[in-house]
Amino acid sequence: QVQLVESGGGLVQPGGSLRLSCAASGSIFSIGTMAWYRQGPGKQRELAASIATGGSTNYADSAKGRFTISTDNAKNTVYLQMGGLEHEETAVYYCNADVRNTARTYLTVWGQGTLVTVSS
């Protein structure tokens, strides 16, 4: 079994910064693309940022220039550094990873989510 555990959410003022972390653990053989999604109140879940094994990144248009996704492969951890946060970015942020487990089965795994509230 593979688990993703997010941390780092909380309350931040508009214009502020926050760093989210997501650590993968369990029966991991290898990890492929890792990503952060977010779902605001009454909205659909959307991709915020992703990073592939080669290091190539992809960002939502609204996040470009303000968010940075990175990984620490030794720790099986992905980070999302967010800056210039706006009220509309209040959401539950979910970690996602494409994982191959020790049984060589490919899985898509989700974390439980961490709440980011942007408010003064």
**How confident is the model over 37-53, as pLDDT tens digits?**
999 999 999 999 999 99
Helix ranges (H only) for the chain are none
CA-to-CA distance for 47 and 40, rounded, in angstroms? 12
Mean per-residue pLDDT for 10-18? 98
Q: Which pLDDT does position 53 carry in this prediction?
A: 93
Residue 63 CB coordination number (10 Å): 22
Mean per-residue pLDDT for 10-23? 98
Q: Which pLDDT does position 19 carry in this prediction?
A: 98
The per-residue pLDDT for range 61-105, each reduced to its tens digit, is 999 999 999 999 999 999 999 999 999 999 999 999 999 999 999
Q: Which pLDDT does position 13 carry in this prediction?
A: 97
Q: Which pLDDT does position 20 carry in this prediction?
A: 98
Q: Are 86 and 65 in contact (CB under 8 A)?
A: no
Length of the chain as a residue count: 120
Q: Which pLDDT does position 87 carry in this prediction?
A: 96
Residue 98: burial class (beta carbons within 10 Å; 0-12, 13-18, 19+): middle
